[in-house]
A and B are shown apart, each in its own frame.
Chain A
Amino acid sequence: MGDQSELQQREDKLQGMGTSLLRKEDAKFIRGQGSYIDDIKLPGMLFGAIVRSPYAHARIKKIDKTKALACPGVVAVLTADDLKPVNLHWMPTVGADVQAVLADKKVHFQLQEVAMVLATDRYAAYDGVALVEVDYEELPAIVDPKQSMAKDAPIIREDIADKKEVGHGPRTHPNHIFTWEAGDKAAADAAFANAAVTVRQEILNPRVHPCPLETCGCVASFNKATGYLTLHVTTQIPHLLRTVLAMLSGVAESKIRVIGGDIGGGFGNKVPVYPGYVVATVASIVTGLPIKWIESRIDNISTTGFARDYHGVGELAADKDGRIKGLRFTALADHGAFNSHVSASKLPAGLFSICTGSYAIPNAYCRVDAVYTNKAPGGVAYRCSLRVTEAVYLIERMIDVLAQKLGLDKAEIRRRNFVKAEQFPYTTSLGWTLDSGAYHPALDKVLKAVDYDGLRKEQAAKRADPKSGTLMGIGLATFTEIVGAGPTKVCDILGIGLFDSCEIRVHPTGGVIARLGTMSQGQGHATTYAQIIATELGLPASDIVVEEGDTDKSPYGAGTWGSRSTPVSGAATAQAARKIKDKAKKIAAHLLEVAEGDLEWEIDRFKVKGNPSQAKTMKEICMVSHTGNLPAGMEQGLNAVSYYDPPNLTFPFGAYLCVVDIDKYTGETKVRRFYALDDCGTRINPMIIEGQIHGGLTEAFAVAFGQQIPFDENGNHLGNSLMDYFLPTALETPHWETDHTVTPCPHHPLGAKGVAESPHVGGIPCFSNAVIDAFAHLGVTHMEMPHSAYRVWQQCNALGINKR
């Protein structure tokens, strides 16, 4: 028994799972005491600035360093020739390709790294950059991926021209990277042949960029005396980066320390290993001095890991009632000049095969053809969980296309196709087993909350009114996404499995320190992991310290990207805590002189069943575990480490609805309402979840309504600074309404699924669907992103609806 209010008090004191605990991280940030890369100052530190190519495709004829070296403050100028002796002018990528560190005889994309100037301070370094003279011989550039495999296309990658494959199967052209497919093409083709209705739509997912507010950079510091390399770096993957550095640099991994400190946003931009890190590291090894490199915003947008650039074709086959019988999705993927984006080695197109979405589709086939172009390398980034943004965009767009073809309501067609509650666990026709889901109630809850029928009536009335200056659109997205990479049998990077870890040490006086293999860039790990441990161990979150990012201290993990932290190291945290709890139970039994089976756990203590006054709190056991009063043969301490290899990925889902009003005369879209219902299973900190949803929706809004990386036909950037790249301010950003359902993940120790990418994955098609829905009654089935005022106006103009 126990008094309810006394139990509540003990529960509240823990501030564990489910509470909106205010963040422990805030204290330093609100005081301006964060420690980001550019805040780091080490004695003797030199500053490195990069010389970059003005051309997208050119041979380097000559590099003259003379004037730069004569510039006061300049210490050295490094080029590919200086990296050759250590064989680091090229580096292997995680995509089984190689990437130039500093351009060797040839540049492959505009602003590619050609040299690094080292100077005693930042200003001298930039002066030096302006004085390096490079002679180029310009070559024709390929900018349109549809031209990459043309018969007479210029060869972009002369360095691998003879290679029959680049890690993922046979290449059919020097500019071809791989072709990957999944599903059953014959079955899909048969479904299409027999279908009552088929729809086909070309759908572009344009090249965009995550653009975190802090750009990428590092401080590399090699100690010549000890042979020890320390790299402070903007990284989402400290341990993987350490392993890669060991492979590249020849420094033993035991003598490399990677430190991800405070990171000003990642969003996938800080996963790749950038040339700047490698050159700074080499420079430090050669000079024995710390080297700082931090890029500019234009460098960041132009050269670091972009996202998407998928030129897709979606096809659905259905019966006359809109039940989908077959799916064929293909995409031409523009990877830029090197295949360098992160992806599990067996999954070169990431998790694209989640493209059957929330629907029970009996026959499916998908294929991705990846090609090189003369643009920056990348592709997997920006809250995408490995191409899930691309996959979900396709299915959520295509189901609207199908609905329009059949004249079916866009909510109704989804209801008809959802995987039903009784079908879970459901294995899709592309091979993923959705462990849990409850799609119908989620959609119903949203439709009820916004009065969907009322909105459709309003829309009908507006469409009938010739005087209406605006077009009203209603967009839906009922997405299932796939996160939490991942089971090591499926997911590895360079052979290293994508498990993750948590190590917990409990102190005699009841405090805890936990270290993990993940790496927060603002997601609030120090708070949420403390909450997990607080609930598991019955110790207050306020006394639980969580650390990440220092490879000398933390157990090995694959870092934070693709919403994997809660699914993988959150699970490891629970498992490690449970090992401790199991040991504590044995100690409690010993202290209370009962069998373990006679004990039950209540919030923060073990009680003897039927004799509740006989109890031992976890706090008491913390002290006892460090004494001699232990069961025979038991070691002291309450410590545990868990390495968690997840049995499956997780499948968060959601139902989003967006209402837009489009000004016919200017093309401007006003987002009137956005209602986002997310199901991420067990919710650890509702406040933090809501913050992630706001952020992900805002990034989705930016993608849908304005972001792009435009090039001219010579591969020159046309809008690569914040003058043009659309980052919405508070004035442009809509108001977000959030809601949730809870469908716990059955295979996760806490039932949690991960959430931070969902709003981006679901938000983008929801916005797009809303804009296109506004034109649906005029026969429009698709419009490409971004839905800028200019591009929407062009649609209005083409339809002749903006004449006065």
Chain B
Amino acid sequence: MIPPAFEYHVPRSVADAIKLMGELGPDAKLLAGGHSLLPMMKLRFAQPGHLIDLGKIAELRGIAQAGNQVQIGAMTTEHDLLGSALLAEKVPLLVEGAGWIADPQVRYKGTIGGDISHGDPGNDHPALMLALDASFVLKGPKGERVVKADGFFLGLYSTLLEPDEILTQIRVPIPAAGTGWSYQKLKRKTGDFATAATAVLLQMSGANVAKVHIALTNAAATPLRAQAAEAHLVGKPINEASLNEAARLAMSICDPTPDQRGDADYKRAMCGEMTRRALQAAHSRAGKQ
């Protein structure tokens, strides 16, 4: 119930935050929304000696269009995403996904950057980022680099983010007009991680699929792009046969961890089912080209 003692730091800029991280080393953790880290600290599963609060760094917030992409500050909350008219119009998948995360109070504090950089395969944004083919801006003492979401997630709680770097911005290419989208999430109750969830972006050309991205949440130690399922669908219509095969191919790459949500068979089957439903929903939203 009570976290162990630690010291608290509030940098006012990203540069100051990076400097602090360098000074304090691995015993320091970044505090974003706090709704993953603080619960772990209260149960004493995490015991950092220092917290660096990113909450007062203005440059880490904001949602803006820059050319063909939307740039989202890493400290943007789920609530901010849900209320963004820009995202609702240009990247509705992200709005739909954010609405499935946790509950209203947690959404007021939880951040997209925290959700991504934790490396927890149960979080929702990683798969959304893969589906959107997003990129992340990582800043460290040596400067800034931009990496693609695809390849960022290495394993359980393991990402490309170095210990001395901060994820500062998420860059989302704006999907073409007429792109259908859906995030289908199966969970036991409000606030639970996904038993299985699938993010889909879908572009049709006439009756056939022109382009499709399928990304899976909580199906393995990292989020997964179901590339074989995507390849199968391109050039085909969305019908029972193609959906069945796409689901089967998505299931074939799953390696889910059995837990109270279900055994591997169930989770795999639900991955297939969420994939199917996400494809169907995205299809119904896709414009005709």
Contact = CB atoms under 8 A, between A and B. Distances in A.
A contacts B: CB pair < 8 Å: yes
A666 B1 CA distance: 35
Nearest to B193: A723
Contact of B188 (A123, A127, A789): A789
B77 to A, nearest CB: 20
B266 interface: yes
B220 to A, nearest CB: 19
Contacts, number: 56
Nearest to A708: B260
B44 to A, nearest CB: 7
Chain A, interface size category, equals 20 to 34
Interface stretch (A317-325, A332-340, A727-735): A727-735
A797 B268 CA distance: 13
Contacts of A122: 2
Chain A, interface SS category: loop
B189 A706 contact: yes
A453 B270 CA distance: 35
A726 B189 contact: yes
A133 interface: no
Contacts of B244: 804
A74 to B, nearest CB: 13
A728 B266 contact: no
A253 to B, nearest CB: 34
Given A666-B273, A729-B103, A804-B244, A790 B190 contact: no
Contacts of A126: 1-2
A732 B190 CA distance: 8
Interface in A725-749: 726-729, 731-732
Interface string B61-100: 0000000000000000000000000000000000000000
B155 interface: no
B4 interface: yes
Nearest to B190: A729
A724 B192 CA distance: 8
A665 to B, nearest CB: 5
B4 A130 contact: yes
A789 B4 CA distance: 38
Contact of B261 (A130, A731, A790): A790
Contact of B273 (A296, A665, A719, A727): A665
B269 interface: yes
A802 B188 CA distance: 19
Contact of B266 (A719, A790, A804): A790
Given A793-B266, A793-B269, A130 B190 contact: no
Nearest to B191: A729
Contacts of B266: 667, 790, 793-794
Interface in A694-713: 706, 710
B188 A726 contact: yes
Nearest to A732: B189
A723 B35 CA distance: 13
B2 A127 contact: yes
B7 interface: no
Contacts of A710: 260
Nearest to A723: B192
A804 B273 CA distance: 10
A667 B273 CA distance: 11
Contact of A123 (B2, B189, B195): B2
B41 to A, nearest CB: 12
Contact of A706 (B4, B188, B195, B240): B188
A243 interface: no
B228 interface: no
A718 interface: yes
A797 B240 CA distance: 20
B37 interface: no
A774 B203 CA distance: 39
B189 A719 contact: no
Q: Which of B2, B103, B244, B261 has the most CB of A within 10 A?
A: B2
B163 interface: no
Contacts of A723: 192
Interface string B246-281: 010000000000001111011001100100100000
B286 interface: no
A788 interface: yes
B20 interface: no
A268 to B, nearest CB: 23
B147 interface: no
Interface string B210-252: 0000000000000000000000000000001001100100000
B186 interface: yes
B189 A804 contact: no
Residue in B188, B189, B243, B247 with the greatest tally of chain A CB atoms within 10 Å: B189
Nearest to B274: A666
Contacts of B273: 665-666
Contacts of B261: 790
Contacts of B247: 804
A793 B262 CA distance: 10
A666 B268 CA distance: 11
B122 to A, nearest CB: 11
Given A731-B190, A794-B266, A718 B2 contact: no
Interface in A787-804: 788-790, 793-794, 797, 802, 804
A337 B184 CA distance: 44
Contacts of A804: 240, 243-244, 247, 276
Nearest to B103: A729
Contact of A296 (B1, B186, B270): B1
B262 A790 contact: yes
5 contacts: A667-B266, A718-B260, A729-B189, A732-B190, A790-B266
Interface of A: 122-123, 126-127, 130, 296, 665-668, 706, 710, 718-719, 723-724, 726-729, 731-732, 788-790, 793-794, 797, 802, 804
3 closest Cβ pairs, A-B complex:
A126-B2, A790-B262, A729-B190
Given A667-B266, A729-B189, A793-B262, 17 more contacts: A126-B1, A130-B44, A296-B1, A665-B273, A666-B273, A668-B186, A718-B260, A719-B260, A726-B189, A728-B189, A731-B190, A732-B189, A793-B266, A804-B243, A804-B244, A804-B247, A804-B276
Interface of B: 1-2, 4-5, 44, 103, 186, 188-192, 195, 240, 243-244, 247, 260-263, 265-266, 269-270, 273, 276
